[in-house]
Amino acid sequence: HNCLQKLKYTRNLNIYVTEVQQDSILNAAESSAQAYRQGSAKLLQGIPIAFKDNFCTKGISTTCGSKMLLNYKPPYNATMVSKCMSEGAIIMGKTNLDEFGMGSGSLDSCIGPVINPWNLVVSNQTSVPDSVSSELNGEQGLSPREQCKVEDTDWYICGGSSGGSAAAVAAGTCLGSFGSDTGGSTRNPASYCGVVGLKPTYGLLSRHGLIPLVNSMDVPGILARTVEDCTIILNAAAGHDVSDSTTVTESYVPFTVREDIDLSKLHIGIPKEFHAPGMSEEVLSLWKETADCLEREGAKVSQVSLPHAQQCIICYHVLCCCEVASNFSRYDGIEFGLRCGSEESTEELYAESRHKGFNDVVRGRILAGNYFLLKRNYEKYFLKAQRVRRLISNDFKNAFSSGIDLLLTPTTLTEAPLVSWFTKADNRTRCEEQDIFTTPANMAGVPALSLPLKLSSNGLPLSLQLIGPHFSESMMLSVGHWLE
Ligand code: GLN
Segment 307-314 mean pLDDT: 95
Is the minimum distance from the CB of 101 to ligand 1 under 6 angstroms? yes
How far is it, in rounded angstroms, from Cα 173 to Cα 22?
Answer: 13
CA pair distance 177, 101, nearest whole angstrom:
16
Q: What spacing in Å lies between the alpha carbon of 188 and ligand 1's midpoint?
A: 9
Q: Is the pLDDT of residue 111 over 80?
A: yes
| Ligand 1 lined by 220 (C-beta under 6 Å) | no
Domain residue extents for the chain: 2-261+446-483
465 lines ligand 1 (CB under 6 A): no
Stretch (H or E) spanning 198: strand 196-199
Tell me the fold of 2-261+446-483.
Amidase signature (AS) enzymes (3.90.1300)
pLDDT, position 135? 47
The CB of 197 under 6 Å from ligand 1? The reply is no
Question: Is residue 429 within 8 Å of 104, Cβ to Cβ?
Answer: no
Of 200, 187, 168, 159, which Cα lies nearest the Cα of 52? 168
Kindly give the pairing relationship between strand 196-199 and strand 219-224. antiparallel
Does the Cβ of 97 fall within 6 Å of ligand 1?
no
pLDDT for the residue numbered 140: 56
- 344 or 484: whose pLDDT is higher? 484
Question: What's the rounded mean pLDDT across residues 164-187?
Answer: 98
**Phi/psi at 61 (5° precision):** -60, 145
pLDDT of 132 > 70? The answer is: no
pLDDT mean across residues, the chain: 94
Q: Residue 164 has what pLDDT?
A: 98
Of residues 12, 27, 48, the one with CA closest to residue 173: 48
431 CB within 6 A, ligand 1 = yes
Closest atom of ligand 1 to 316 CA is: 10
Residues 6+ apart with CB under 8 A from 187: 181, 197, 199, 221, 411, 438, 448, 449, 450, 465
CA distance 407 to 466: 6
Contact 78, 394 (CB under 8 A): no
Angle at 211 between CA 324 and CA 192, to 5 degrees: 90
Question: What would the 3-class secondary structure string for 59-92 be?
Answer: CECCCCCCHHHCCCCCCCCCHHHHHHHHCCCEEE
pLDDT surpasses 90 at 147: no
DSSP 149: -
What positions carry a catalytic annotation? 52, 161, 185
| Centre of ligand 1 from the C-alpha of residue 33, in Å | 38
Q: What is the dihedral of CA 331, 334, 337, 342, to 10 degrees?
A: 100
Which residue from 54, 99, 161, 437 has its CB within 8 A of the most atoms of ligand 1, so it is best to mutate?
161
Q: Which among 55, 213, 328, 411 is the best mutation to test ligand 1's pocket, defined by most ligand atoms within 8 Å of the CB?
A: 213
Spatial CB neighbours of 418, under 8 Å, sequence gap ≥ 6: 126, 154, 155, 156, 157
Q: Measured between alpha carbons, how far is residue 449 from residues 4, 304, 407, 464, 479 in Å? A: 28, 19, 10, 8, 10
User: What's the angle, vertex CA 400, arms to CA 272 and CA 453, rounded to 5?
Assistant: 60
* 312-334: pLDDT as tens digits: 999 999 999 999 999 999 999 98
Half-sphere exposure of residue 290: CA atoms within 13 angstroms, side-chain side: 27
| 6 C-alpha to ligand 1 centroid (Å) | 28
Taking 50 as the threshold, does the pLDDT of residue 72 lie above it? yes
Q: Whose CA is nearest to atom 10 of ligand 1?
A: 102
Q: For residues 133, 418, 218 and 469, what is the CA-based torsion angle, rounded to 10 degrees?
A: -150
Output Rg (C-alpha) for the chain, integer angstroms.
21
pLDDT in tens, 382-396: 999 999 999 999 999
DSSP string computed for 274-329: G--TT--HHHHHHHHHHHHHHHHTT-EEEEE--TTGGGHHHHHHHHHHHHHHHHGG
d(CA 167, CA 7): 11
Choice among 93-97, 152-156, 237-241 with the minimum mean pLDDT: 152-156
202 Cα–ligand 1 center, Å: 16
**Residue 330 Cα, ligand 1 centroid: separation in angstroms?**
20
**Whether the Cβ atoms of residue 478 and residue 255 lie closer than 8 Å to each other:** no
**Interface confidence (ipTM) of the complex:** 0.98
Give me the mean pLDDT over the 255-273 stretch: 95
Contact 103 CB / ligand 1 (< 6 Å): yes
Our measurement of the distance from residue 53's CA atom to the centroid of its chain's CA atoms, rounded to an integer in Å, reads 11
Q: Cα(183) to centroid of ligand 1, in Å? A: 5
Q: Report whether pLDDT(139) > 60.
A: no
Ligand 1 atom nearest the C-alpha of 101 is 9
Per-residue pLDDT tens digits for 438-462: 999 999 999 999 999 999 999 999 9
Q: 55 phi and psi, to 5 degrees? A: -100, 125
Backbone angles phi, psi at 406, to 5 degrees: -145, 150
**Distance set, CA 306 to CA 205, 271, 400 (Å):** 26, 6, 11
* Strand 406-410 with 461-467, pairing: antiparallel
